[in-house]
Amino acid sequence: MTSDYFTLPPGDTRSVGSAGRRNTNGREPPARAILRRMNPQDLQSYRRLDTRTAAREAFDEILGRAQRSLRLIDDRGEFYGFDRPRFATALQALLRRSRDASITLVLHDSGFVERDCPRLVDLLRRHAPRLRILRSADSARHFSRGFVLADETVVLRRPHYDSALTFVDFDERAVAEAAHLLDEIVGEAMPAPGLSVTGL
């Protein structure tokens, strides 16, 4: 399949949906606008990343291109470097891109953020409720897979928190699975006790 911007490899049956079409009013459909900002090589197939350095680079790249939303489930937030100035700057930039932009971070343990991420805590104070930091429900504490979902378009998958192995995937099925799991986990999560806006 070929669009104006991307050529998928032979045998790749994934669809970029409306990315190759224009609306009748001449404006680009939202999907096409998002894909234009993504790296064309990302659409060729999923990428396997074996180190935390590589995973953080992919995370930073995707966060830097996100336009509407970021949703994440992680054990502590340390793997992706929540304590880095670059992370806080990227979150603030996302929130400034659109008044409708939103960020939801669900953690099993919020202690790392409370102790070591003052910039992130400051952002929470200034941008809640568009920025939320939640603690997963007790029933989800056994969940050992991590997901990052940006713009409901691209997902970073960590099969297990004990490993640096991460996959970057634009596949519609993988994105839908991540979105479904995040919906369930976010729906049961509660504001992190030490990070509730009223307690800051």
pLDDT of residue 148: 96
C-alpha distances (whole Å) from 175 to each of 106, 124, 127, 145 are: 17, 26, 27, 14
Q: How far apart are CA 196 and CA 124, in angstroms?
A: 9
> Could you tell me the two tokens for 57?
């680079």
pLDDT of residue 41: 52
> Could you tell me the two tokens for 87?
């992370």
| DSSP character at residue 28 | P
State phi, psi for 162 to the nearest 5 degrees: -80, -5
Beta strand spans in 5-145 (E): 47-49, 69-74, 102-107, 131-135
pLDDT of residue 149: 96
Per-residue tens of pLDDT for the chain, all 200 residues: 323 222 333 333 443 333 333 444 555 444 445 444 555 455 445 799 999 999 999 999 999 999 999 999 999 999 999 999 999 999 999 999 999 999 999 999 999 999 999 999 999 999 999 999 999 999 998 899 999 999 999 899 999 999 999 999 988 898 999 999 999 999 999 999 878 655 44
**Angle of the 85-97 helix axis to the 118-127 helix axis, nearest 10:** 20
C-beta neighbour count of 63 within 10 angstroms: 21
